[in-house]
């Protein structure tokens, strides 16, 4: 298993390096950080533009800028922002901290629901329960993420108005001031996560449950599961140790591949609920043509996608030992 893990890790390193080059070149060629300054009326003096160009390293050749940026990344420096008083490193890490707690909880809930619903649908194939799960699965699949988030937000506002107090939080990732210490702050953050997490989790769960159902049906009809049942093993043991373990491999693949879609869904969800997370950070950076901020966002997202796919590769070896020896 160690050799298998090392091989996967070594494969991920050149992919990560290639992603830094693609991210930097793509960002540098698609936006001009001086646009906001040049659009002012009256226009700034040429000397101001030249000094800003030097501060943003725009006077250097493109490949030299990439190399200096790459070296800076190892020192925790993501480059200069168009806002001279903004530390991109601390800002982007703080924003992603807000976003990834939403993504982690949403993915965890979506995975648990997908496995439970997918297994039950496969075992109860063509029953009323299977048709009910299928209906709701396709219903959530058909809903645009922004529309579903708005519906939940409006439902939360209506519920608060009905009970006469704020039970469900519909704006922000936390309250401005919370009295009561660390536990009160923790519960406040959890309260703000309820509606956004439901919004993001249900849309992911809908697709994953269909994959889990199809995978489980394929495994249940395989010869080795029939053989295990014929040998007298209990149905629960066959489902847990033989069928479910193998059926989780396709779901692991889909989950790893969907991380990018979940991050983009989090951008939309955060915008609806007015979170100050990575989503709003990206939109602000795009509006301001803040190239280094956009590159920082893309690089961190790419890094997490690569790491998540690495974890998925390692899980393959855990779920099916034949893979690690292949």
**For the domain that residue 175 is a member of, what is the CATH number?**
1.10.3720.10
Contact 116, 212 (CB under 8 A): no
Is a pLDDT exceeding 90 seen at residue 204?
no
What CA–CA distance (Å, rounded) separates 140 from 207?
Answer: 8
For the stretch 265-282, pLDDT in tens is 889 999 999 999 998 999
Residue 9 is part of which domain span?
Answer: 2-325
Tell how far CA 93 is from the center of its chain: 15
Is a pLDDT exceeding 80 seen at residue 5?
no
Which of the pair, 43 or 5, is modelled with greater confidence? 43
Could you tell me the maximum CA-CA distance found in the chain, to the nearest angstrom?
86
Give the pLDDT confidence score for residue 10 in this predicted structure: 83
Give the 3-state secondary structure percentages of the chain, helix then strand then coil, rounded to 5. 80, 0, 20
Q: At what angle do helices 291-319 and 259-273 cross, to 10 degrees?
A: 130
Question: Which tokens go with 236?
Answer: 């629960």
The percentage of residues in the chain with a pLDDT greater than 90, rounded to a whole number, is 31
What CA–CA distance (Å, rounded) separates 314 from 319?
Answer: 9
Give the pLDDT confidence score for residue 321 in this predicted structure: 66
For the stretch 232-248, pLDDT in tens is 777 777 777 778 888 88
In degrees and rounded to multiples of 5, residue 135 shows phi and psi of -60, -50
For range 310-317, the mean pLDDT: 81
Comparing C-alpha atoms, which of 54, 102, 22, 58 is closest to residue 294? 22
For the stretch 45-83, pLDDT in tens is 888 888 888 988 888 898 999 999 999 888 888 989 888
Give the pLDDT confidence score for residue 1 in this predicted structure: 64
The total domain count for the chain is: 1
| Torsion over CA: 222, 223, 229, 234 (sign) | negative
Going by C-beta distance under 8 Å and a sequence separation of 6 or more, which residues neighbour residue 313? Answer: 8
């Amino acid at each position: 298993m160690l050799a298998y893990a090392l091989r996967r890790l070594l494969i991920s390193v050149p992919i990560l390096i290639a992603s830094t080059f693609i991210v930097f070149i793509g960002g540098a060629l698609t936006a001009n950080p001086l646009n906001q300054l040049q659009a002012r009326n009256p226009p700034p003096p040429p000397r101001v533009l030249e000094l800003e160009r030097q501060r943003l390293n725009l006077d250097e050749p493109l490949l030299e800028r990439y190399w200096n940026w790459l070296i800076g990344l190892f020192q925790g420096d993501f480059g200069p922002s168009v806002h001279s008083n903004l530390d991109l490193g601390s800002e982007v890490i703080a924003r992603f901290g807000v976003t990834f707690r939403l993504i982690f909880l949403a993915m965890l809930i979506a995975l648990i629901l997908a496995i439970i619903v997918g297994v039950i649908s496969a075992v109860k194939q063509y029953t009323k329960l299977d048709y009910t799960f299928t209906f709701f699965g396709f219903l959530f699949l058909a809903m645009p993420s922004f529309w579903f988030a708005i519906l939940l937000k409006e439902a939360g506002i209506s519920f608060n108005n009905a009970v006469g107090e704020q039970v469900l939080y519909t704006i922000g990732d936390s309250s401005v001031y919370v009295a009561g210490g660390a536990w009160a702050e923790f519960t406040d953050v959890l309260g703000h996560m309820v509606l956004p997490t439901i919004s993001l989790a249900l849309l992911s769960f809908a697709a994953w449950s269909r994959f889990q159902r199809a995978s489980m049906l394929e495994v249940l009809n395989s010869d080795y599961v029939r053989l295990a049942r014929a040998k007298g093993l209990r149905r629960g043991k066959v489902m847990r140790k033989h069928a479910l373990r193998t059926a989780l491999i396709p779901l692991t693949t889909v989950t790893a591949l969907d991380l990018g879609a979940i991050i983009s869904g989090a951008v939309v969800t955060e915008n609806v609920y007015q979170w100050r997370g990575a989503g709003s950070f990206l939109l602000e950076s795009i509006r301001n043509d803040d190239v280094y901020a956009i590159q920082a966002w893309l690089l961190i997202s790419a890094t997490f996608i690569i790491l998540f796919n690495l974890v998925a590769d390692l899980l393959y070896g855990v779920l099916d030992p034949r893979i690690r020896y292949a």
